[in-house]
Structure 1
Amino acid sequence: MAGYGELLRTPGVARIIAAQLTARFPNGMTSLAILLHIEQVTGSYGSAGLVLAATSVGQAVAGPITSRWMGLWGMRRVLTVTLAICAAAIACIAAFTLPLPAYMVLGLIAGLSTPPVQAAVRTIYPKMVNSRQVTPLYSLDASLQEIIWVVAPVLITFVATQIGTVQALALIVVVLLGGGAWFILSPEVGRVRIPRSRRSFGKVLGKPAVLLATVVGFLLIGACSAVEVGVVSTFGHEGIEAGLVLAVFAVGSLAGGLSFGHIPIGPWATARRMLIVAAGLGLTMISLNAWWLGATLAVAGLGVAPALAVIFAMTSASVKFSETAEAYGWIGTGQLIGAAAGSAVAGFLVDGAGPQGAYLAAALFAATGAIVAIVFVRGFPDLRDRDPSPIPDTEPVPTIT
C-alpha cells in the first residue's frame, strides 16, 4: 500500500484517476436506466431489450473508431463532441415519448457517441509516471473501477424506482456532463498528444499481444456477466442477497488488484490470474447458499482486476504510442461483446438447467481464458525487466548535407 501512496502523490495522478472514474460512472448506470425507462414507457421488457441491444451495438462499433480519432483530431476535441452527442441522445430518451424504432435509433446514437474516456486515460497513464510505476498504476485503475460497478447500479436503481426513470436518466446526463468536463479540462488531457497512426485501421489487431488481450478480455468479462445472471437468477430481484453477493465479488477484485498490483508481469501472469478466476467460479456450482457463493466469488474476484491489469500493461508495452488508443478501443469492444455473450449464454442455460447453468457458463468462460493464456503463452510479453510504456513513434528526420 505504501507503493500506491507514493503513486497517488505523483503530481496529477490522483486527480486524473478521480476525474476519469467520475466520467465513466455513467457506464454503470446507463444500461439499467434505459432498460427500466423503456419498460415503463412501453410496458415491455422485450422492447427495452431491443433499445438496450442497439445501445450496446453502438458502443461496440464505436470503441476502436472514436479511440483512433483521438490521434487525428486530438483527445479534447473528440471527447467533447462525443460527450455532447451522447448526453443529448440520453436526454431525448428521457424527455420524449416516441415509437420504439425512434428509441432504438437514439440508443444507437448514444452508444456510438460514448466518450472514449477509458482509451484516453490508459493512453495518458504511461506519460504521467516513471516506468516502475506504470504496472501498479494500471492495477490501481483496474481495481478502483470496481467502485463503478458496485455503487452505480445501486444508485440508479434507487433513483429510478423511488423517484422516477426520467429523473434517473437526467442524473446520468448531469454526471456525464460534469464528469466528462472535469476529465476533458484536466491538464494531462491537453498536454498529451497522440501522434497520428500511419497504419490502416484494424492493423493493430495483428499484434499478438493486442489480439490476445482482446480475446482474454472477452472471455474474462463474459465470465463476470454470466456470474451476474447466475446471482440474480439465484436470489431474484427483490431481496438484498444478490446485491451483497455481487458486491463481495467486486470487493474480491478490488482486494486482488491492490494486493497483486506490484508483482512484476511475466508471460505466465495472465494464465495464473485466469486460473484463480476459473477455480473460484468452478466452486460456485457446489452450492447456491449465499455464504458459499459469497466466499467462492471472493476467491474468483481476486484474479479479475489483476488479470485486467495484465491486459492493459501488455497492450501498452506492445504497440507504438500512436496505436495505443485504438488498441484499447478494440479491447473495450471485445469486453462489451464478451458481456453480451456471457449474459446471453448464461440466460439460456438458466432457462434450461436453473441457476447452476449460469455458474457453469462463467466457469467455462474463465477456464477457456486460462487455456488460451497457457496455449499461447509465447505471445504474452515478459515485462519483469522491461519498461511497459508504449513504443515511441519514430520517423525520418531531414538533414542538411
Structure 2
Amino acid sequence: MSSYRELARTPGVARIIAAQLTARFPSGMISLGLLIHVEHLTHSYAAAGVVLAAVSIGQAVAGPVTSRWMGRWGMRRVLTILTAIYAAAIATIAVAPLPVPALVALGLVAGLATPPVQSAVRTIYPKLVNARQLTALYSLDASLQEMIWVLAPVLITFLALQVSTVLGLLAVVVIAIGGGAWFILSPETGRVRIPPSRSALGRVLRKPTVLLATAIGLLFIGAAAAIEAGIVATFGEGGVESGLVLAVFALGSLVGGLGSGSIPMSPWSTARRLGIVAVGTALTLLWVDNPWWLGGALFVAGVGFAPALAVMLSSTSASVKFSETAEAYGWINTGQLLGAALGSMAAGFAIDGIGSIGAYVVSLTMIVGAALVAAVFHRGFPDLRHRDASPIPDTEPVQTIT
C-alpha cells in the first residue's frame, strides 16, 4: 500500500481521480435511466431498447474519433463542446414528449457526443506522476471505477422509480455538467497537451498491444455484461440479492486491483489474471440459485477483474507514442462497448433458451476466450517487469548545421 500512499501525496493525483470519476459517473446511470424513462413514456421496452442501442452505437463509433480530436483541438475545447451537446440531448429526452424516432435520433446524438473523459485522463496520467508510479496509478484507476458501477445504478433506480424518470435523467445532466466542468477546469487537464497524431485514423490498431487489448476487452467486458444479465434473471429485477451479489463482484475487483498495484507485469500477466476471472466464473455454474455461493464465486472472479484491466491499460501506454494514447484508449473503449452489447444480447438469448444458467455459460465462454487470446498472443504484450509504462516519446527530424 506504500505505492498508493505515495500517489496520494503526489500533487494533483487525488483531485484528477475524483474529478474524472465524477465526470464519468453518468455512464453508470444513463442506460437504466433511459430504459426506465423511455418505457414509461412509450410503454414499450422494445422502443427503450432501440434508444439504448442508438446510444451504444454512437459511443462505439465516436470513441476513437473524439479521442483523436483532443490532440488536434485540445482536451478542454473538445470536452467542453461534447459535454454541452451530450447534456442538451439527454435534457431534451427528459423533458420533451417526443415520438420514438426523435428519441432514437437524440440517443444517437448523445452517444456520439459522449465526452471521452476516460481516454483523456489515461492520457494525462503519464504526465502527472513519475514513470515508477504509473503502473500503480493505472491499477488504482481500474479499481476505483468500480464505484461507478455500484453506486450509479442504485442512484438512478431510486430517482427514476421512487421520484420521477424526468428527475432521474436531469440528475444525469447535472452530474455530467458538474463533473465535466470539474475535470475540464482541473489544472492537470490544462497543463497536458496531446501532440496531433501524424498517422491515419485507425493506424494505431496495427500495434499488436492495442489490437489485443481491444479484442480481449470486447470478450472480457462481454463476459461481465453476461454475468450481470444472469444475476438479474436469477433473482429478478427487484430482488435485493441482485444488488448485493453485484456489489460483492465489484468489491472483489476493488480488492484485487488495490492488491496487485505493485506486482510486476510480464507478457503472461493478462492471461493469468483473466484465468482468475475464468475460475470464479466457472464456480458460479455449480450453484447459480444460491446468492451466498454466487457472491463468493464472483468475489473470486472480481479479484482478477481490475488487475487484468490494469495490465491492458499499462501495456497500451507502454506500446504507443504519447500522441497516439488517446486514440488507442478510444479504440479499447469501443471494443468494450461492443463487448457489453454482444454479451448482453447473447446472454438474453441463452436465458430465453435454457434459463438463467445460460447467461453464466455465455460469460464463461467469453472469459475463457479472452484468456486464451491473451495466452496465445502473449508476446504482443510488453514485459514491464524491468521498465516503466510510460508512452514512447514523440520524435521528429531536427535540422542541424553541417
Superposition TM-score, scaled by structure 1 size: 0.99
Equivalent position of 1:47 in the other structure: 47
Structure 1 residues 25-104: aligned runs within 5 Å: 25-104=25-104
Amino acid at match of 1:299: V
Structure-2 separation of matches of 1:74 and 1:152: 29
Deviation string, structure 1 residues 100-123 (Cα, Å, up to 9, x no partner): 000000000000000000000000
Structure 2 counterpart of 1:17: 17
Q: What is the one-letter code of the residue matched to 2:109?
A: I
- Residue 150 of structure 1 corresponds to 150
Which residue identity does 2:375 align to in structure 1? I
Instruction: Write out aligned runs for 1:320-335 (5 A).
Output: 320-335=321-336
C-alpha separation between the residues in 2 aligned to 1:154 and 1:89?
Answer: 23
Residue matched to 2:394: 393
Structure-to-structure mapping, 1:2-401, within 5 angstroms: 2-288=2-288, 289-401=290-402
The separation in 2 between residues aligned to 1:78 and 1:275, in whole angstroms, is 38
> After TM superposition, what 4+ stretches of structure 1 lie above 6 angstroms from structure 2?
none
Q: Distance in 2 between matches of 1:5 and 1:113?
A: 36
1:8 is matched by which residue type in structure 2?
Answer: A
Specify the SS of the correspondent of 1:303.
helix
Identity of aligned residues (%): 68
Structure 1, residues 124-167: CA drift from partner, whole Å, max 9, x if none? 00111111110000000000000000000001000000110000
Letter in 2 for 1:320: K
Question: Which digits, 9 at most, give the CA deviation of each residue in 1:260-317, with x for residues without a partner?
Answer: 1110110000000000001100110111211000000000000000000001000000
Q: C-alpha separation between the residues in 1 aligned to 2:295 and 2:95? A: 40
| SS of 2:31 mapped into structure 1 | helix
CA distance in 2, matches of 1:374, 1:8: 34
CA distance in 2 between counterparts of 1:23 and 1:363 reads 32
Once the two structures are TM-superposed, the CA of residue 399 in structure 1 deviates from its matched residue by 2.8
Distance 2:9 2:163 in 1: 40
Report the RMSD for the aligned CA atoms in angstroms.
0.6
Name the CA distance, whole Å, in 1 between partners of 2:379 and 2:169. 46
- TM-aligned CA deviation for residue 398 of structure 1: 2.3
Deviation at 1:6, TM superposition (A): 1.0
CA distance in 2, matches of 1:171, 1:278: 36
**1:400: Cα distance to partner?**
3.5
The separation in 1 between residues aligned to 2:283 and 2:361, in whole angstroms, is: 10
What displacement does 1:365 show? 0.7
Is this contact kept in 1: 2:29–2:153, CA < 8 A?
yes
1:322 partner amino acid: S
How far does the alpha carbon of each residue in 1:8-36 deviate from its partner, in whole angstroms, 9 at most, with x for none?
Answer: 11000000000000000000001110110
Instruction: Measure, in 1, the Cα distance between the counterparts of 2:219 and 2:141.
Output: 20
Q: Distance in 1 between matches of 2:366 and 2:231?
A: 16
In structure 2, how many angstroms separate the alpha carbons of the residues matched to 1:239 and 1:225? Answer: 18
Task: Return the letter of the residue paired with 2:214.
Answer: T
**CA shift for structure 1 position 2:** 2.2
Three-state SS of the structure 1 residue aligned to 2:93 is helix
1:397, CA displacement in angstroms?
1.6
> Which residue identity is paired with 2:211?
L
Q: In structure 2, the residue corresponding to 1:286 is in which secondary structure?
A: coil
Q: Say if 2:229 and 2:348, in contact at 8 Å, map to a contact too.
A: yes
The answer on whether the counterparts of 2:252 and 2:303 sit within 8 Å (CA) in structure 1 is yes
SS at match of 2:285: helix
Q: How many Å separate the matches in 2 of 1:346 and 1:302?
A: 23
Distance 1:373 1:332 in 2: 18
- Mean Cα deviation higher: 304-313 or 391-400: 391-400
- One-letter amino acid of the counterpart of residue 262, structure 1: S
Aligned counterparts of 2:46 and 2:23: Cα–Cα separation in 1: 30
Q: Deviations over 1:59-85 (max 9, x none)?
A: 000000000000000000000000000
Retained in 1: the 8 A contact 2:135–2:388?
no
